[in-house]
Amino acid sequence: MTDALRAVAAGDHFILPELIRRAITHELREQPVDIHELTLGWPLEPFGPVAEVSEAGDAEDELIEALAGARVLVTQMGPVTARVLDACPDLRLVVVCRGGPVNVNLEAAKSHDVRVCFTPGRNAAATAEFTVGLLLAALRRIPQAHDLLSRQGSWAGAAYYTYEHSGLELEDLPVGLVGYGAVGSRVARVLCAFGARVMVYDPYIHHLEIHGLRVATLDELLRRSQVITLHARLTAETRGLVGARELALLPPGGVVVNAARGPLLDEGALCDALESGHLSAAALDTFAHEPLAPDSRLRALGDRVVLTPHLGGASRAVAEKATALAAAEVGRWVRGESLAHCLT
């Protein structure tokens, strides 16, 4: 009889350990598996740098204890540090339920002959939907009107029905997308369905599967767009991609939406543009520093901003997709097949 595969499902309060266990059990339904469940604290407890890795839960000791004798780890926030890898000689496969394994020391994993996989695309649909939601909220001032009526008991939100204060609609609106990957391409399809005039800037994409228009430069996109939404990956080149110079290229009354990564956008320059009236609104789900500081200038901008605490990828379907993708990698590894998304 084949020995049971020993695995650890180190989930949290979003990627539930039970979801990981179910997905692995289904993937390996013809093989005995012994899965230990461990619940880490995120998002009820913050993540951050742990030893030499970033965006992880501070749980090295708990992870080491759970991994005793385990060959496979599936996690989202588990800190796979050099210390953890040194203490777990049986470990051979780590699958991270995220778009990148930032919580894993890849060099140490390679030196220990541990394969490291990740699950790209698991939150693309959720983030695209959330982006469109932010855009609609900013254009039509939905959160502000709700706050006036529901929280303050005031009908003063009717002022948003005046011509001066009423919002914009998507039909025929020129909307520029910075980035056309898994999220941006989905946003483009939805906006085209609304009848928006979609334009895209992405130097790495040469074919658009939409009826939109590809523009050659970011400056051109900004000059022609009443609204921009950011979908670029955060790299050394894209950090601060949209700053004071770029925001000044937007037409007066422009709107900025960012549900990608906070550091793509210069928040100080954004606040300046909103305070001066050059921009009419912004909707942000991600920030340069998270959580957003109590004294952030963004908090003082009132009804000019819609702010949410990095919830773009928070849907039940994301957790289910991530665990299914992770379990599929475990299945490929067990069967000796090529891994789909592997960095070591």
- What are the catalytic residues? 261, 290, 310
Cβ atoms of 207 and 235 closer than 8 Å: no
Enter the tokens of residue 214: 């590809």
Cβ atoms of 244 and 266 closer than 8 Å: yes
Report the greatest alpha carbon distance in the chain: 76
Enter the tokens of residue 166: 């009423």
How many angstroms separate the CA atoms of 291 and 337, rounded? 41
Helix (H) or strand (E) holding 222: helix 218-224
Place of tokens 């299945």: 331
Closest CA to 92 of 119, 66, 110: 110
DSSP string, 191-202: HHHHT-EEEEE-
Beta strands in the chain (DSSP E): 5-11, 33-39, 48-50, 53-56, 72-75, 93-96, 115-118, 174-178, 197-201, 213-214, 227-230, 254-258, 279-284, 305-307
- The helix, strand and coil proportions of the chain, stated in percent and rounded to the nearest 5, come to 40, 20, 45
Task: Spell out the residues 6+ positions from residue 296 whose beta carbon is closer than 8 angstroms to its own.
Answer: 267, 287
Size of the chain, expressed as the number of residues it contains: 344
Task: Spell out the residues 6+ positions from residue 292 whose beta carbon is closer than 8 angstroms to its own.
Answer: 298, 299, 307, 309
